[in-house]
Amino acid sequence: MTAPGGVERAFARSAHDRLAEHRHDAEWFAARWAAPDAAVVVVAPDEVAMDGDRLRRVPAGEAPPGERVLLGQSGDQMQLAVIVADIPPDLGPERVRSAGSRLTADEAGLAVHAVGLANWHRTHPRCARCGTPTVVAQAGHVRRCPACEALHFPRTDPAVIMLATDAADRALLGRHPSWAPRRYSTLAGFVEPGETLEDAVRREIAEETAVRVGTVRYAGSQPWPFPSSLMVGFFADAESDEIRVDGNEIADARWFSREELSELVAAQALFLPGIVSISRWLIETWLRGGHQGHDS
């Protein structure tokens, strides 16, 4: 099993310059929308307008009404988006999670940026402090309360996702009770208030499998704005082997050697997570021996 080229590309970087320094300048932003060649991406919560395998670009003057957002700039192209409640059928709406694997890395970065904002705007129409309806500001990246002047910023919820290996370099994979049979993946969970990422890795593995973990190494991250997660990936060195699953968050967990996992996948007796996921990338990296487990 070789690593598909798209796995790392799809989440490891986001190519557009976000131009945050221009978000305060309403005049500058209006001029970008009025430019004769302005073209915009149309996005709704969880959906994006597609043109085959590419993001659809609609001339700014023909875009449906909605919240105007500055995504940034890639090369010479200004990246603008409009957030709507529902994308008109003739613009080719598609769920980002299914379209994402066909997009280029640059376009995937634009899509998750835009959809993350769309999801946040949908669920945060009122001031969290005083309840007054808020207004959009700073080119779509802030909501301001006209009553108490509070500024509200898009939220991101960190989650840890980790591949633990034991002293024999076997990997710990588990399956959620709701998943299709024979599907296994890395363990994951949300970070709690006041907790470091490393402690979250150790706590989640202990809660779900009773395996103790020592050293934790950062591997990479993936925005997952469905609705607002950032998946932070780690490799972890297990210091114990015995597994006791909680039966609640995890139905089964096992240690797999590289040979065993490769054979099971080849025989379609076990299914791994999708190509465009950090869990798959962690597994593929371990299969190649690139995880540097136990200080190897």
Site for Zn ion (CB under 5 A): which residue of 13, 24, 54, 129?
129
Q: Which is nearer to Zn ion, 14 or 134 (CB)?
A: 134
Q: Which is nearer to Zn ion, 7 or 127 (CB)?
A: 127
Answer yes or no: are the C-beta atoms of 130 and 145 closer than 8 Å: yes
Q: Which is nearer to Zn ion, 121 or 202 (CB)?
A: 121
Q: Which is nearer to Zn ion, 149 or 263 (CB)?
A: 149
What are the tokens at 70? 């500055």
Size of the site for Zn ion (CB under 5 A): 8
Answer yes or no: are the C-beta atoms of 282 and 225 closer than 8 Å: no
User: Going by C-beta distance under 8 Å and a sequence separation of 6 or more, which residues neighbour residue 226?
Assistant: 46, 96, 97, 115, 119
Site for Zn ion in 98-127 (CB under 5 A): 127
Closest approach of Zn ion to the CB of residue 193, in Å: 23
Sheet holding 135-137, edge to edge: 135-137, 142-144, 151-152
| Residue the block writes with tokens 């490769």 | 262
Site for Zn ion (CB under 5 A): which residue of 130, 135, 151, 266?
130
Site for Zn ion in 7-46 (CB under 5 A): none
Closest approach of Zn ion to the CB of residue 133, in Å: 9
Give me the 138-177 binding string for Zn ion, x by CB under 5 A, dash otherwise: -------x-xx-x---------------------------
Answer yes or no: are the C-beta atoms of 225 and 236 closer than 8 Å: no
Q: Which is nearer to Zn ion, 12 or 147 (CB)?
A: 147
Closest approach of Zn ion to the CB of residue 153, in Å: 14
User: Going by C-beta distance under 8 Å and a sequence separation of 6 or more, which residues neighbour residue 112?
Assistant: 14, 96, 100, 223, 224, 225
Closest approach of Zn ion to the CB of residue 135, in Å: 11
Closest approach of Zn ion to the CB of residue 127, in Å: 3
Closest approach of Zn ion to the CB of residue 283, in Å: 45
Rg (CA), the chain: 21
Amino acid letter, 262: S
What are the tokens at 106? 């640059």
Burial 144-153 (b: 16+ CB within 10 A, else e): ebeeeeeebe
Amino acid letter, 27: E
Q: Tell me, what DSSP letter sits at residue 107?
A: H
* Distance, CA of 55 to CA of 100 (rounded, Å): 10
Q: Which is nearer to Zn ion, 88 or 146 (CB)?
A: 146
Q: Which is nearer to Zn ion, 127 or 191 (CB)?
A: 127
Closest approach of Zn ion to the CB of residue 68, in Å: 23
Neighbours of 207 (CB within 10 A): 14
Q: Which is nearer to Zn ion, 98 or 132 (CB)?
A: 132
Closest approach of Zn ion to the CB of residue 149, in Å: 7
Name the site residues for Zn ion (rule: CB under 5 A): 127, 129-130, 132, 145, 147-148, 150
